Amino acid sequence: PLGGRSGGAPIVGTGAVGQMSDPLPQAMVLTAIVITFGFTAFLLAVAYRSWYLTGDDEVPDDLEDRQIIRRAERNEVGAVDHGGEGPDGDAEQVDPEPARRRLRRGEEA
């Protein structure tokens, strides 16, 4: 029989067990290569289709991009860019208003 004894391993080499390689990692690497190739081909097809329909591959600036450029030229920063920690110890909840101004309005500090 070509496959070996019934109930035994179908592929057994004649060398030592330590010299045999596990085929699963090799199959996983090959699968990753094939998926990457397919994804790259898809992205190239989408880019070509975009170029074919619009005639160029330049993405126009939107309104938000222009606002960011103007703020950067004036060296302005947003409230979340001031740094530090917010009232609840959360770095994302920054209150740019000084504590004195909040106390003046009768709020707790």
Tokens 């010299």, residue located: 19
CA angle 48, 50, 55 (to 5 degrees): 95
Answer yes or no: pTM beyond 0.85: no
Q: Which tops the pLDDT comparison, 9 or 25?
A: 25
Contact 92, 86 (CB under 8 A): yes
> Domain extents for the chain?
22-79
41-73 tens-digit pLDDT: 999 999 999 888 888 767 677 888 888 888 888
- Helix count (H) and strand count (E) of the chain? 3, 0
